[in-house]
Amino acid sequence: MKFKVTLAALICAFLSSNAQEISDTKFGKGLINFTAKDSSFSVKFAPRFQVRSISSWDHDGDQYGSPDHNFIVRRARLKFDGFAYSPRLKYKIELGLSNRDISGANQFNRNTPRYILDAVIMWNFAGNWELWAGQTKLPGNVERVVSSANMQLVDRSLLNSRFNIDRDLGIQLRHKTDLGNGFLMREKFSVSQGEGRNVTEGNEGGLQYTARLEFLPFGTFKSKGDYSQSDLKREEKPKLMAGFTYNYNQDAVRERGFAGDYMIRTDGSIYETDQTTIFADAMFKYDGFSFMGEYAKRTADDEIATEADGVTPTGDVVLTGNALNLQAGYLFKNNYEIVGRFTTVDYEAITGALPVEQYTLGFNKFVVGHKLKVQSDISYTAVDGNDDNITFRLGFDIHF
């Protein structure tokens, strides 16, 4: 509570001190854009939030029952970024305020809300080399790295929710290579703690190692469109990014590596097992048409967590398996868009989880690109080909 009050006071004080000034900034470019007179630092402040309405119908074997309704503030965030000392040293801080943003309190983060999403510095120390340090997204599947502010459907796919590697604390080394004739290759490497964000009680397992290669045979996308869904810039020439990620979480202590329950034994020790996740994905855009495809696979040395005797199951199971996600959309010139998505998730039999198929159809209206939009989608989900569900979602995004 003290954190919220202090943050609100600082923001109000800044706004009050500049209340009589007319800014030349525009909607969607940040609420505050400030650069020191001596160019020693800059800061941009951009709040955003997403509101959702969700209605869900389960099939009971004969017919669909009465719907369940839910209205939520899905995300509410404060983002700060800029440079410090030199334009070659950038930073990003992003804080989450909604229930879904801050949930996950446990003994390993002192049972406190997880406000911090990103707290990272990015140093362009030489040529095309960058060193990142702090807490931020790992270079995983493209769908996860795309900001939740720039999504084409109301939320990410089942592939992402089950197998992504998300945020972690550590360092990243990034480089890009011009292979000639506009062909660009990007290399990204990371060493991180392996237990996700906002951990305060030290590293319980081993470290996590991530490597990603990206190939852009037709050059860069407009406005970093390879990491923004929908072809809002209407690429005049075909643009493609193909990416491959390998992630190894040594002695992982959580059911999904970075997330899920800690696999704690009855004697208080923690079960550890090596987990490996691979991704292959692609983003394509041309003249209003966009396509994103992803494949993910996670394996573990031993999926069934055991007690200290190495035999008795604890009840915890590492979520392993594979998934495929295909998504395509077309943006009309009046800024309406139609989107389709198909996702399959197949779990390893030892996990006891059943296979899932999901079909999603979405409609969007972009008022100011991703900064102000209305989105809706309807999904049909089948679990093991039997248990059916229909879900309709409607919401809006506003990003200053």
Q: Nearest-CA neighbor of 141 among 198, 40, 214?
A: 214
Task: Give the percent of the chain with pLDDT over 90.
Answer: 86
Which residues contact residue 33 at a Cβ distance below 8 angstroms, ignoring those fewer than 6 apart?
Answer: 23, 25, 42, 43, 44
Does the pLDDT of residue 7 top 90, yes or no?
no
Residue 197 predicted with pLDDT over 80: yes
Q: What is the pLDDT of residue 272?
A: 96
Domain formed by 30-399, architecture: Beta Barrel (2.40)
pLDDT computed for residue 64 by the predictor: 74
Q: What is the pLDDT of residue 10?
A: 55
* pLDDT tens-digit series, residues 32-72: 899 999 999 999 999 999 999 999 999 866 677 788 999 99
Q: Are 149 and 48 in contact (CB under 8 A)?
A: yes
pLDDT band at 173 (very low <50, low <70, confident <90, very high): very high
d(CA 282, CA 213): 12
For 143, phi and psi rounded to 5 degrees? Answer: -60, -35
Q: Which residues contact 46 (CB under 8 A, 6 or more apart)?
A: 30, 31, 78, 79, 80, 399, 400
Of 90, 238, 75, residue with least CA distance to 150: 75
What pLDDT digit, counting tens, does each position of 327-383 carry? 999 999 999 999 999 999 999 999 999 999 999 999 999 999 999 999 999 999 999
Please state, in angstroms and rounded to a whole number, the distance separating the CA atoms of residues 218 and 263: 45
Strand stretches in the chain, DSSP E: 32-35, 42-58, 68-84, 86-96, 116-126, 129-137, 167-180, 183-192, 208-216, 239-252, 273-286, 289-300, 304-306, 313-317, 321-331, 336-347, 356-368, 372-383, 387-399
pLDDT, averaged across the chain: 93
- Indicate the SS3 state at residue 269: coil
**In residues, how long is the chain?**
400
Long-range CB contacts for residues 64-68, cutoff 8 Å, separation at least 24: 64/388, 64/390
Q: Which of 14-28, 103-117, 141-155 has the lowest average pLDDT?
A: 14-28
Buried b (16+ CB within 10 A) or exposed e, 67-94: eeeeeeebbbbbbbbbbeeeeeebbbbb
Mean local confidence (pLDDT), 218-235: 97
CA pair distance 366, 234, nearest whole angstrom: 14
pLDDT tens digit sequence for 228-262: 999 999 999 999 999 999 999 999 999 998 899 99
Determine the Cα–Cα distance for residues 34 and 80; give it in Å rounded to an integer.
11
pLDDT at position 85, please?
Answer: 94
Whether residue 9 has pLDDT greater than 80: no
Mean pLDDT of 302-329: 96
What pLDDT is stored for residue 235 in this prediction? Answer: 98
How far, in Å, CA of 149 to CA of 144, rounded? 12
pLDDT(177) > 70: yes
Quote the tokens at residue 378: 């309807």
pLDDT exceeding 70 applies to what percent of the chain? 93
Q: Please report which confidence band the pLDDT of residue 19 belongs to, taking 50, 70 and 90 as the band edges.
A: very low
Which has the minimum average pLDDT: 19-28, 149-158, 163-172, 302-311?
19-28
Confidence grade of residue 16 (pLDDT, cut at 50, 70, 90): low
The rounded distance, in Å, linking the Cα atoms of 319 and 158 is: 13
Q: What is the domain partition of the chain in residue ranges?
A: 30-399
